[in-house]
Amino acid sequence: MKRLFLALLALAAPFAAFLGLCEVRLTRVPATQLAAKRVLLARQQAAVEVLILGSSHAESGLLPAELGAPAFNLAGPGQTLYYDHALLDKLQPRLPALKLVILPVSFLSLESQLDEGPERWRGYYYQYEWGLPHRDWHLAWHVRNFSAYFCYGQEIGLQNILWGRIRDATANLDAWGGWTNRPPPPGGFNADGSPVRLSASARVALQRHHSRMKPEHIARNTQLIEAMARQLQRQGIRLVLVTLPVAQAYSDGMNAAAYQRMQAALRQLAARHGLTWLNYTGDRRFTDADFWDADHLNLAGAQKFSRLLRAELAAGHAR
Amino acid sequence: MLFNSFAFLIFFPVVTALYFLLPQRWRWLLLLTASCLFYMYLIPKYILILVFTIVVDYVAGLLIAPAQGARRKLFLVCSLIANIGALALFKYCDFLSENLAAFARALGWNYSLQSLHLILPVGLSFHTFQAMSYTIEVYRGRQPAERHFGIYALYVMFYPQLVAGPIERPQHLLHQLYEKHAFDYDRVTSGLKLMAWGLFKKAVVADRLAPFVNGVYADPAQAPGPVLLLTAVCFAFQIFCDFSGYSDMAVGAARVMGFRLMRNFDSPHLSRSISEFWRRWHISLSSWFKDYLYIPLGGHRCSTSRWCVNIGIVFLVSGLWHGANWTYVIWGGLHGFFILCGTATERARARLAAALGLARCPRVHATLSIATTFMLVALCLIFFRARTLHDALDIFRRLPTGWGLLAQPARLLESLHGSGLRAMALGLAGALLVEMVQVLQRRYALLALVNAQPWWVRWSLYYAGVAAVFFLYGQEGDQFIYYQF
C-alpha cells in the first residue's frame, strides 16, 4: 500500500504544484466580473447610497452614474432573487450610507431558480467569490466552489500560468460597477456583427425563459423579497421593485398567465410591505433602438431608463 | 454521488482504505454503509424504494427456493409485480396518464387524471433489473436463495454499479461478496488505470461535446442540415464516451477492491450490423433482455413471424426501459426494425457486395458496413436525444436542407460559431483517440503492452493521461446521461 501511495503522490505532485501556483496567482487579479464588482465595492462601500441588484437586465440597463447619488450596480447575469437576497444579507452591514436598494424583478425572476437552469454553473462563482452557499446542497462539495482554477476554467488558469496574461475584469467597469466597455450580450449580434432581429432574439429568449419558469417557485421567491423588505425596513432603507423595459417583440410573446401571476404577486407584496413597484413592461417610451437584444437595454437605452427611473423615484411615483 | 465529483474523490479512497484495513467479516457492512451513503447523496429519501425492493426480493428468494409448482411461480410473480410496480409508479405513471388523456381527447371523452410529477429515483431501472434477475434465477433453480440479508442488500446496492450498471447477475456477483480480497498492487493499479481511462472519456470527450450537442438540440430549428448531421454524430460519440466512461469507472472501482464486474461495452462503433451493435453496446442490458424476455418469448426457435414479433417486443420494451417517452420507444423500435431488415436482406446484400466486387476487398466491405451501421445508430439517436417527438421529426425534416452551405465553409463555420465549436472539435479529436484505442485493443492487449514498457515510457503515458484530464476536461459536465434511467 505504501508503494501505491508513493506512486500516486509522484503522479499528483506536479499537478498539485501547478494548481497551487494557479490559485495564488488567480487571487491577485479579479478575472471575472463578479470578482471585479467585489473588489470595486470594497473600495466604495463607505460611500454607497444606492445598491442595484438583479440579473443581466439590470446589469446592462441601469447606469449608476445616472442615478444622481453614489450608486453601485451589483447586478449580474443569471443573478436570481436567491442571490440578491444572499448578497444583500451579506453586504448591507458593510454599507453604512445605504439609503435605497433597487431590486429589479424581471418576467422570469419569480418563477426561476439559478440551480435549475442551464446557467447553474454561475452558482459556483457566487460561492467562490462571495462565499454564498448554493440553494441545492448537492453542489456544496463541487471542486469549483473551492478552486479558482476549476471555477474559472482551465483556459484562464493556463493563460495565467503559461503566458502570465490574465484579463483584469475591472477594466470593463467604472468605479461604481457600471459598464464602460460593455461587450454585447450573447445573442445580441450576428456573426457578421450586425444586430440580431429583435423578433428572432425575443423568440429565443422567451423559449429559454419560459422553459425554466415554474409557478411553484413564486412562493419561495416572494418570501425572499419579503425578507429583504423587512431587513431593510428595520434599517430605515427604502426598497424599490423595478421591472425593466423589454422590446415589444419580447413583451408581446410573454406567457400571459405567467405575467399575470407575476403582477398579482408583486402587487400583493407592494401592498403588504408598502413597497414601490415600477413596472416598465410594454412602456412605449422605449423603442427597438434602445435595446441590444429583446430583453437587454443598450447604452443609450440604459441612459434613458436610468434618468427616467431617477426622476420617477424622486417624484415618488408608483405604477 | 457522481464518479466525476470532488465528493467521490474523497469517498473512494476512504472507503477503499477502510475496506483493506477492516477484517473480512466487517467488509460487507462497510460496503453496504458506503453504498447507502453513495446513493443517499443524491436524494436521501429514495433509499426507501431500494429498501422496499430489497426486502421484497430477499423474502421472495427465500420463499421461492423451497416452493414447488404453482406456488413457486406465484411467489415469483408477486416479486416481479412489486418490482415492476415500483418502476411503473415512478417512471411510467405520468406517461401512461398523459397518453390516456390524449387518447380520450381524441375520442372526445372527458378524461383527466392527476399527474404525479414524481422525481425519478436515480438508477431505478438498473437496480430493479438487477433485483429481478436474482428472483428469476432463484426461480429457475440456477441460484440458491441468499440467506444473509446484508449480503443480498449489498448485491443490489454495491455502489460502483448501483446507479448505472453494469446490471449484474447473482451467479456472477453474489459469491464475490463472500470472497476475501487482499490488497494486490497490480490489480489495484489496473483498476485505477481503468477508472482514469473512464474519466478521460467522460470529462474530455463527452463533456467537451455536450455544450455543442445541447446547444443544437435546445433549438434545432436554427441549425442547417449539415450541422444537424454533425450533431447526431457528436451525440453518438458523446453518449458512448459518457456511458462507457461510467462503466469503466464502475468496473475499475470494483476491481480496485478485488471485485470483477462484467464488461458493458466491446467497441460497439466497430460493429458491422445493428445486431452486432447490440452484442457490443450495453451488454449487461441486452443480455438481460435476451435471457429474461427474448428467450422466454421463444427467441429465434420459432416461426419467422413469431420471431419478428419477439424482436419487436424486446426492442420496444428496451426503448421504454430507457425512458417514459415516445422518442425512446421509437428509438428502440427502429433498432428492432433494422435488425429485422438486416436479416431479411442478408442474402441480397451479400449478392450485391459480390456484384460490386466488395467480396474481394474485405477491408473496404468491412469499413462500409461499419460506417453504415454507425450512421444508422447515430441517426436513431436523434430520437433518443431530442426533447420531444416533434423536435426529432423536425430534425429529420431539416436534415436534407442547407447542404449548399458546404460550398461556403466560412458561412458554415459562422453558423457553428458560438455553439462550442472549439470544444466540439477537441471532443471529436478525443473521440477519435478513444475509437483508435478500441481498434488497437481488439488486436493487442494494450494494458499488458503498456506495462511491458520501460518505466519512463509508462510514467510519461500516466502523466499525459492525467494532464489530459486536468487541462482538457469539459467544464459543463455534471451528470452521466444514463443516471436518468
CB distance A15–B414 less than 8 Å? Answer: no
**Which pLDDT tens digit goes with each residue over B328-383?**
999 999 999 999 999 989 888 888 888 888 878 888 888 999 999 999 999 999 99
CB distance A4–B418 less than 8 Å? Answer: no
Instruction: Tell me the DSSP string of B201-269.
Output: IIIIIIHHHHHHHHHHHHSGGGS-HHHHHHHHHHHHHHHHHHHHHHHHHHHHHHHHTT--PPP--S-GG
Q: How confident is the model at residue A257 (pLDDT cuts 50, 70, 90)?
A: very high
pLDDT, average across residues B67-86: 92
Indicate whether B477 pLDDT > 70. no
CB A55 within 8 A of CB A113: no
**Which pLDDT tens digit goes with each residue over B403-419?**
877 777 777 776 665 56
Please report, for residues B163, B293, B302, the alpha-carbon distance to residue B296 in angstroms, rounded to integers and kept in the order given.
27, 5, 12
Residue B418 forms contact with A (CB below 8 Å): yes
Q: How confident is the model at residue B200 (pLDDT cuts 50, 70, 90)?
A: very high
Strands in A238-243's sheet, in edge-to-edge order, are: A71-73, A50-52, A100-104, A238-243, A276-279
Chain A nearest C-alpha distance from B445 (Å): 23
**Which pLDDT tens digit goes with each residue over B279-319?**
999 999 999 999 999 999 988 888 888 989 999 999 999 99
Model pTM above 0.80? yes
The whole-number pLDDT of residue B417 equals: 56
B417 is catalytic: no
Report the chain B residue with the minimal C-alpha distance to residue A145.
Answer: B6
pLDDT, average across residues B429-434: 92
Average pLDDT, chain B: 89
The residues in B 87-146 lying below 8 A from A, measured between CB atoms, are: none
Indicate whether A156 pLDDT > 80. no
Which residues in chain B are contacts of A153 at CB distance < 8 A? Answer: 475
Dist. CA A310–CA A62, nearest whole Å: 10
In whole angstroms, what separates CA B206 from the centre of its chain?
Answer: 14
Which residues in chain A are contacts of B222 at CB distance < 8 A? Answer: 204
Dist. CA A152–CA A31, nearest whole Å: 8
Which residues in chain A are contacts of B462 at CB distance < 8 A? Answer: 11
CB distance B219–A207 less than 8 Å? Answer: yes
**Which pLDDT tens digit goes with each residue over B79-101?**
999 999 988 888 888 888 888 88
Report the chain A residue with the minimal C-alpha distance to residue B11.
Answer: A141
CB distance B42–A204 less than 8 Å? Answer: no
Q: How confident is the model at residue B461 (pLDDT cuts 50, 70, 90)?
A: very high
For testing the chain A interface, which of B45, B204, B471, B483 should be mutated: the one with the most A CBs within 10 Å?
A: B471
Indicate whether A185 pLDDT > 60. no
Residue A215 forms contact with B (CB below 8 Å): no
Residue B460 forms contact with A (CB below 8 Å): no
pLDDT, average across residues B426-446: 89
CB distance B6–A142 less than 8 Å? Answer: yes
Dist. CA B109–CA B98, nearest whole Å: 14
Indicate whether B422 pLDDT > 80. no
The answer, yes or no, to whether ipTM is higher than 0.95 is no
Residue B466 forms contact with A (CB below 8 Å): yes
For testing the chain A interface, which of B3, B4, B6, B255 should be mutated: the one with the most A CBs within 10 Å?
A: B6
